[in-house]
Structure 1
Amino acid sequence: MWYYQSKRDDSVVIAKLTALANELPTRGFDEYYQRIRREGLRWNRKRVLRVYRSMKLQLRQT
Structure 2
Amino acid sequence: MRNALTPDELDMVAKVTNEACDTLQCDAAMRPIIAARVLGFANRGERRYDALLAIALDKTTR
Question: TM-score with structure 1 length normalisation?
Answer: 0.39
User: Who wins on radius of gyration, i.e. which is larger?
Assistant: 1
Question: TM-score with structure 2 length normalisation?
Answer: 0.39
